[in-house]
Every structure is written in C-alpha cells, then in structure tokens.
Homo-oligomer: A and B are copies of this chain.
Amino acid sequence: MAFKPSIKTQALETPALIIEMDALESNIRMMSEFFKDKKAKLRPHFKTHKSPEIARMQVAAGAKGLTCAKLGEAEVLVGAGIKDILIANQIVDKGKLNRLAGLARFAKMGVCADNADNIADLSKAAQYYGSTLHVLVEINVGMERCGVNTKEEVKYLAKLINSSDGLVFEGFQAYAGQLSHNLDKPERVSGVGDAVAKVGAIKKYLEDDGIAVAQISGAGTGTYNITGDNTIWTEIQAGSYVFMDTDYEQLGLDFMKSLTVLATVIHKRPGAAITDAGQKSCCITVGPPAIAGYPGLFATLSEEHGKIIDAEDLLEYQQRVEYLPSHCCTTVNLHDRYYCVRDGALEAVWNIAGRGKTQ
C-alpha cells in the first residue's frame, strides 16, 4: 500500500526537514518521566536539535539546563533564555576565551578542561570579565579523544581550578560515547560499570583529599537508562532521544522517530525513483536513509539526488517520500528550518538557530 503523506506536507516545498510534533513531545515526556526519581538530572545535548524552541521544551519538562558542543551554540542558548549551560568541550582559542567569560555574565557556564595552561587562560578571562566559570575536568573513559587518564592528573587540575580566581571546580566530564552505539546491551551495561569503577575511584581519591566533586556529567541516548540509573553520574547529556534515527533505533529504545526529510520524486522509471534530496539534505556517513512507510526501500544519495531502487514500482512520479535519516544530528545541521507537523497539519516553522555555529 502506498504511503500517503498528509495534505500539508504534500504542499511543502522539498527537501524539507519535518518534525512529527506528537512524537517529539512524547520523547521529551518519556525522558522526563525516567529522570523523575533518579539521582541524576537530565542535561540534554543541544548539538542534536540546535533549536531554542526544543531547548525550552526540555527545560520546561524538568531538564536542569542544556549541554552543547560549541561556544557558538552556547551563545544561541543564552539568547534563548537558557540559564544553565555546559559546553562539553575544551575552549582554547584566545578569542573564544573572551567570548566564554563574557557569556558567563548572563548564564551559569560550565566548560571542560584537561590542561593546566588552559585553566590559567580560563581564569584570566573570567577575572577580566568579572564572571565565574564552572570547570569540569574531563576524564577519558574510552573515547580516546580529549581528557586525562590518571587520578593524579585529575587531582592536580582540580586543585589548580579551585585555586584560580574566577573558576570553580564543578566536577568531571566523563563521556563514554563509544558505548552509546554498541548494539549489545550487556556490553553497554558492563562498559558503564567499567567507567563507574574508573571515575568512582578518582572521585574517592579527590574526596579523600577534601576536594568536593559536585557533578559528574556525561552519557548519551544509548546509555541514559544505564548511566542515569542511580550510578555516580549526576548529569546525563542525552541528545538524540528527541528525534531518534535508524542507527539509534537498533538499540531497541522506546523513543519514537520524530524526524524525517521530505523529498519529491522528480523522475520515475520502471524499477527506480529519483528524488530531489541528496547528501546536502541528509547525512549518510552512518548509512543511507530508509523510506518511511516502505519497508525495505532506501535511498542512495549523491550530492543533489536520491536514488531509490523501487523494484515493485510502489512509488509514483511527483510523489512525496520521507527519508528516515541514519544520523539525526548531522542531518539537522544541513537545514535552516524545521517544518513542525501534527496530524498532517503544519503547525510551526522553527529556525534552526544553532545550525552552523561551529565556532
């Protein structure tokens, strides 16, 4: 049976990034319910949706604040009225240090550090602006990206932060992103266990020396219900749960897919349909998008086109199809706006204010 897009989405020009609002709201509600009786709080990641509207919905549903990846994203969040922001990353450019410390006059700003020189720079910038930066020492828990490894390094940096004017030692950033996409739940559980052991030992080492560790921040959509289930984490940085994608879907979580890329069939011939949505509308680094309502169909994307092998000729010329992206975050970053749809009616168009804010 052919997939029937609604009258409203049929009228939209394509490619268009669509949010199914009922699904989005359900996802936000479900995550909020999960954290109601947990020690950890939700600090959802802005890098996924980059939308001030969704950020405010998350805070209204109980999120303690937002996480973001980039200083430019934090500036958008402050402009949107968010008061508690963590940049889950190092800020090392001289110009960015100024922007960060300046921004901290308007919101509680957290930032990660793993380097003594950087801590000295953060302190200078905070003093210049008369603001306070809440600094988390990043611990490497398997991403092999940023972060330090030993308890001695962590303690050294924590003490340095606490003795630096304008800085407060807030705790740890510990993000085991490599676990978030592991399809094997027992492996996710045991991986979180390993991280708890490593981070917990470091926490104890600092506390034994009288250094308070207020926050341990990290985790994502793939481990929120393990890491966030009364372990030592105090903040969970899940992002993709608002939209999900075909990659996260494989984990068997209860969130609904709420994000699609609407495309038009601009050419149809026996066995194939060509659409107007290519790699500039949908990210394919994790795999090609599936086609909503047509199990087994997917689109191979070149730069400007999608090619759907349509052996049974289910699709028609000029028909709208909806891609289900394999990676929501990088797909969102290609678009300027969301078309928000409920029961087939377009109810809002939202500017993706954080798009492209990589600096």
CB nearest to A48 among chain B residues: B303
Stretch at the interface among A26-34, A160-168, A280-288: A280-288
Cβ of A152 to closest chain B Cβ, rounded Å: 15
- A31-51 contact mask (Cβ, 8 Å, vs B): 1 or 0: 000000000000000010000
Chain B residues with CB under 8 Å of A89's CB are: 266, 276, 304
Chain B residues with CB under 8 Å of A117's CB are: 317
Chain B residues with CB under 8 Å of A336's CB are: 356
Chain B residues with CB under 8 Å of A334's CB are: 333-334, 356, 358
Judged by a CB distance under 8 angstroms, whether A347 is at the interface is: no
- A8-38 contact mask (Cβ, 8 Å, vs B): 1 or 0: 0001011110000000000000000000000
Judged by a CB distance under 8 angstroms, whether A69 is at the interface is: yes
Q: Contacts A69-B304, A304-B69 known; A93 to B264 CB distance under 8 Å? A: yes
Chain A residue total in the interface (Cβ 8 A):
52
**What are 25 A-B interface contacts by the 8 Å CB criterion?**
A13-B93, A13-B95, A13-B359, A14-B93, A15-B359, A47-B303, A69-B303, A89-B276, A90-B276, A114-B267, A115-B267, A117-B317, A144-B307, A145-B267, A145-B307, A147-B267, A177-B302, A277-B358, A280-B333, A281-B358, A284-B285, A285-B285, A303-B330, A333-B334, A334-B358
- A residues near B, CB below 8 A? 11, 13-16, 47, 69-70, 89-90, 92-93, 95-96, 114-115, 117, 144-147, 177, 264, 266-267, 272, 274, 276-277, 279-281, 283-285, 302-305, 307, 317-318, 329-330, 333-336, 355-356, 358-359
